[in-house]
Structure formats: C-alpha cells, structure tokens
Amino acid sequence: MQRLLKWIGTMLLFLVVAICLAPTFLPPFLDRIYYRGPVSDHFDGTRFFNPDASAEEAGRQAARGSLLLKSWARGERASWPEQLPVRQSVPPPRVAGDAMLVTWIGHASVLIQTQGLNILTDPVWSERVSPFSFIGPTRVRAPGVAFDRLPKIDLVLVSHNHYDHLDLATLARLWKRDRPLIVTPLGNDTILKAEGVASMAADWGGRVPVRDGIDVLVERNHHWSSRWGADRNRALWSAFTVRLPGGNIFFAGDTALGDGMWIRQAAAHGPVRFAMIPIGAYEPRDFMKSHHVNPEEAMAIFAGLDPGMALGIHWGTVQLTNEAIDDPPRRIAALRRARGLQAGRFVTPPPGASFRVPKMLSLVAPRGRVPSADPDKRRARSR
C-alpha cells in the first residue's frame, strides 16, 4: 500500500512539474510556419498583423481566452439551450442566370446559388469547433442542410483558420466529393494541403478568377488567426468580394470594425447585391471589441456597403462568448426599426432558412463615408 501511495505521489509530482513547464516547452512544438514571403504593411516577415491595430488591442486579443474564462467564472455567461430544432432545407442542384437563392447553414456557413454556381462560405458540419473531439464548443443547432443534401459545390471561401471557420473534416469531405475551387488568404493553403486539400491562397487585394465575368477578390478586414495559440497570426485572415454580372456578393468573414477603411475598399469594387455580415460573439465588449463586431457595428458595415440585402451570420449556432442566444437578432431588429430600414434589407432567419435575393435596381456603386458605430462620435461630427 505504501509503495502504491509513493508511486501515486511521484506521478502527481511529475504531473505538477509538467504543467508548470508546459508554457516554456510546448509553444515551440505547437508553433507552425504557414507562410513565407516579403514584408508588407500587414506582414512583418514572420507574422501577419492588422495595420490599424494598436499595441493595446494586440494585448487584448492575446488575452482573449483567459479573460473569457474569468468572466465565465464570475457568472457573466448567458445560459444557452443544449439543443434547438432545425428545419433543414433541400437546395436545388443549380440556380441559373441572375436569380439568387441563399440558404443559411449556420454560424458563418452560407450556401449561395446564382449564375449556375454553388458557393459555400466557411463550411462547418462538425459537431465541435475545437482541435479536440472530446472538448470545446459544441453546436446547439444542426446544419441547415444535411451534408448529403448539399448540391455539388463549385466555389468555397475560407476566411481564416479558427476552428469555427476552417473545419478540416468538412473541407476534406467537400474536396473528396466535389473538387471545388477553394479560395483563402495567405498561409491557410498550407493547413489545407497537409490534409490533401488543394486551394488558392491570395493576399489582401488579390484576385482569383472563377470563370469569364466572375472572380473573387480577397479583401482586408480586421481579425487574427491561430490553430494552436503559439502559431498566432502565422496565416492571414480576410473578407471576400465575389464579382458577378448582377451585382457583387460580399462575405465579411470574422471581423472587428477597426478603422472601417476596409468597408470603403470593398464598396469601391462595385454595387453589393448581397452581403453576409457577422452580428454575434461580442460580449464582454471591453475586450471582444478587437475581435468581433457587435450589432451596432454590423449595422455600420451595412451602411457603408449599402447592399441590396444582407444576412446576419455568426450567431445562434455555437456559444463562443457571453451574450444570450437571441440577443444578436433582437438588437438588429431594434436597429432596423430605429433607422427606418425595411425588414427585408437586413435579415436574421433561423439556420436552414432559404430565401431569394432580389435583383439590383441599379448597378451604380455605393459611395459615401462609413458611419461610426459609436453614437457619441456621430453626434460629435454632426455639431
């Protein structure tokens, strides 16, 4: 018995020592080099960065996990249901011409069908968004379309490498089944290649042709990247514009507002017929502001793009932060009413919903200043 207790004590001692030394020894093994290239205004030769970010913001981003855990320990995290029903859609094989059919799969996964193309954004069909199969955030809503009911996918946009956006299991299934064109910002192609998945990687400002009259523009937004913590910002993040004859599609990816200049840049590429704008995962605001937009900032993105129609994404599927599951769409609805915006211009349906996007009445590019999401700043400018 004494020998057993001594053995257990020794093992516990080794475990405590290992935990204490892990922060020193593990990072080099968890780090990865995903991209090598010349220095630019958002790449220092080693890691990418937001050109409009301050040192204070970088610190808030780095501390995100620990600050969230502390807020949860204080009981600040809203309670979400374990599971919610989803009425799944069965999309058609194709949608021809300028007609556009959109189906929200959930979170940042959206199926857009137009011009005979089937386009999928940040596809995630896994149960967990985590590096581990046994722990991590679990979806409370099933995908809005069963994977086997997905039509053949032609184009996939992958905005960055966080697990709730770059799901290797789903991308490997799509690649094996359909061989789609996968477009992603720099460095993420290395992650996909390791799983046998081919992709086209481009820098901000890059263009990837799809076919005559249709191409993908990789756009600047304001975020960060990591798969393992130590590999922070080794790969780039982005938004996307898909240029189409009947008006552009804009996918914001995962983003904070930052300086808002990236919204102007996207708007300058032509009229936006349909935009996908994140509206969730934003509380506590004091440190999530540098990670994700809240509904007020999402409305500022909408105002800057002036799309024919927008879909609110990145809410109601996986609990990543503190707000209640239905808080994002309620706040968007209140903002619509306050601004006299028609309900059909900025929609927040449940996952699985399909809807038609109207044709654009005008192909004149929107112009104008991107409004601040801060009402005090707006009032100050108006004086």
Query: What is the C-alpha to C-alpha distance for residues 158 and 119, in angstroms, rounded to an integer?
Result: 11
> What integer pLDDT is reported at residue 8 of this predicted model?
59
- Predicted TM-score (pTM) of the model is 0.86
What topology does CATH give the domain 100-359? Metallo-beta-lactamase; Chain A (3.60.15)
The arrangement of strands across the sheet holding 181-185 comes to: 200-202, 181-185, 155-157, 117-121, 109-114, 100-106, 354-356
> What integer pLDDT is reported at residue 136 of this predicted model?
86
> What integer pLDDT is reported at residue 122 of this predicted model?
98
Query: What is the C-alpha to C-alpha distance for residues 152 and 159, in angstroms, rounded to an integer?
Result: 21
| Strand 214-219 versus strand 354-356 pairing type | unpaired
**R_g of the chain, CA atoms, integer Å:** 22
> What integer pLDDT is reported at residue 11 of this predicted model?
56
> What integer pLDDT is reported at residue 366 of this predicted model?
42
> What integer pLDDT is reported at residue 23 of this predicted model?
42
> How many CB atoms are closer than 10 A to CB 190?
18
Residues 6+ away with beta carbon under 8 Å from 201: 35, 183, 184, 185, 186, 187, 188, 189
**pLDDT tens over the chain, length 383 residues:** 566 555 554 455 344 334 433 343 344 556 789 999 999 999 999 999 999 987 556 655 555 566 666 666 677 789 999 999 999 999 999 999 999 999 999 999 999 999 999 999 999 999 999 888 788 899 999 999 999 999 999 999 999 999 999 999 999 999 999 999 999 999 999 999 999 999 999 999 999 999 999 999 999 999 999 998 789 999 999 999 999 999 999 999 999 999 999 999 999 999 999 999 999 999 999 889 999 999 999 999 999 999 999 999 999 999 999 999 999 999 999 999 999 999 999 999 999 999 999 998 754 444 334 444 443 343 333 33
Query: What is the C-alpha to C-alpha distance for residues 184 and 26, in angstroms, rounded to an integer?
Result: 28
> What integer pLDDT is reported at residue 53 of this predicted model?
85
DSSP track, 113-153: EETTEEEEES---SSB-SSSSSSS-BBSB--SS-GGGPPPP
> How many CB atoms are closer than 10 A to CB 357?
24
Range list of H helices, the chain: 2-30, 55-62, 64-73, 168-178, 188-193, 261-267, 285-288, 295-305, 327-339, 375-382
Is the backbone peptide bond immediately before 284 cis, with ω within 30 degrees of 0?
Answer: yes
Q: Are the C-beta atoms of residues 300 and 267 closer than 8 Å to each other?
A: no
> What integer pLDDT is reported at residue 135 of this predicted model?
84
Q: In the block, which residue shows the tokens 């007020």? A: 296
